[in-house]
Amino acid sequence: MKDPRHHKLASVLINHSTRLQKGERILIEAIDTPHQLVVELVNLANEIGAIPFVTLRNSEVTRALVKGGREAGLRKWGELDTARMDEMQAYIGIRGGQNVMEMSDVPPGQMGLYKSHYVKPVHFDTRVRNTKWVVLRYPSYSFAQQAGMSTEAFENFYFDVCTLDYGKMFERSQALKAWMERTDKVRIVGKGTDLAFSIKDIAVIPCGGEFNIPDGECFTAPVRNSVNGVIQYNTPTIYEGTAFSDIRLEFKDGKIIDATADKTEKLNQILDTDEGARYVGEFAIGFNPYVTRPMLDILFDEKMAGSFHFTPGQAYEEADNGNRSKVHWDMVMRQTPDCGGGEIYFDDVLIRKDGLFLPEDLQPLNPENLVD
């Protein structure tokens, strides 16, 4: 029996996120995903007169290819998929999977080859730059377990958050964009956190369902050498299949000079990947009203209402502070009262306290005003 929620989600992805047009080629890449959503996407693309292409992947197979792959093979794999991606005008990536730790035992050297020869050319250099794209996770038993919810409750939550009115969200985010564009100095205060940096003259990008589903953030980047102070993240995070908690970073003139966590040695190994990994490439404020607690999935966690993320590594070209790295690690801090609260100041003006926006023109982004 068909679930009408798949059709509604497919419509958001085709008509809002990628704005697919007649004659455009779109690649639908589904990883460990049931076929129903893919079929709905293909059908809608065909109705528009677009030209859909489909790749179905399995994460265990990908692990085998990466873990045992020779450099020449990984390079050729990247070249072939880059050539195909270069033919596309749009891309939808659906990430399923029963095990978020699937890649955790891939040796760092092999993971580096995979990133260099496949992920970077196919996705960062080609898909991100040249297509209208959106990526999302698909609900699964393990995903529900991560969220601490029953399968039924999680599916209901998932479709609520993924099919909300993103047009309204995007419109209301323009006020936050304006605040950030005229801001020089940012100060963030919270439990274990006192951080200061500049975002002067860095582009600001409001996100309302175009690149990520779910969505709900406004991002920029700090001036590369301006970050000083300390941040104590209070949200668990996964990087390349390894879970981390209690991450604390200390900055001086933009650089992470001290880093600790429950896995301090592993954390520092990642931050020593290259020079740029110890500098920050993104600062973003989250405001999705349905995402209210961490789920060990960054596409959801970074959008949490009352949160912000401060990201070591590569900057986005759209909001570029010049930082370059193989790493882009979104680390999230929540500032809601149950997490200790906190404040965000723009040029000494308090704009958010304990997770709620205070200026009148930003209050429409508070959760009670975004839920239909």
Q: Give one DSSP letter per residue of 166-202, joined into a string.
A: HHHHHHHHHHHHHHHHT--EEEEEETTEEEEEE-TT-
- Give me the phi and psi of 203, to 5 degrees please: -60, 150
The answer to whether residue 71 scores a pLDDT higher than 70 is: yes
Q: Which of 6-15, 205-214, 353-362 has the lowest mean pLDDT?
A: 205-214
CA-CA distance, 27 to 82, in Å (whole number)? Answer: 12
Distances (CA, A) of 338 to 295, 300, 350: 16, 19, 20
Chain-centroid distance of CA 229 in Å reads: 24
Lowest-confidence pick of 30-39, 95-104, 306-315: 95-104
Confidence of residue 140 (pLDDT cuts 50, 70, 90): confident
H-helix or E-strand spanning residue 30:
strand 25-31
pLDDT at 1 over 70: no
pLDDT of residue 299: 86
Domains along the chain? 4-162 (3.40.1830.10), 166-370 (no CATH)
Give the SS3 label for residue 134: strand
pLDDT in tens, 317-355: 899 999 999 899 999 999 999 999 999 999 999 999 999
Q: How far apart are CA 308 and CA 346, in angstroms?
A: 14
pLDDT at 142: 82
Q: What is the pTM of this model?
A: 0.82
Residues paired with 307 in a beta bridge: 334
More confident residue, 225 or 160: 225
Residue 294 vs residue 73, higher pLDDT: 73
Average pLDDT value for residue range 49-64: 96
| Residue 143 binned pLDDT confidence (cut-offs 50, 70, 90) | confident
How confident is the model over 76-101, as a mean pLDDT? 93
Predicted confidence at residue 145, as pLDDT, reads 85
Statement: residue 97 has pLDDT above 80: no
The residue whose two tokens read 């239909």 is: 372
Quick one: pLDDT at residue 312?
98
Tell me the mean pLDDT in the region 174-199: 98
At residue 147, the pLDDT reads 82
> What does the pLDDT read at residue 134?
95
| Backbone phi and psi for residue 15, each to the nearest 5 degrees, phi listed first | -90, -30
Give me the chain's average pLDDT, please.
94
Of all residues in the chain, the percent with pLDDT exceeding 90 is: 80
Mean pLDDT on 290-296: 88
Q: Please check the confidence at residue 141 and state whether its pLDDT lies above 90.
A: no
More confident position, 50 or 149: 50
207-232 pLDDT, tens digit per residue, is: 988 888 999 999 999 999 999 999 99
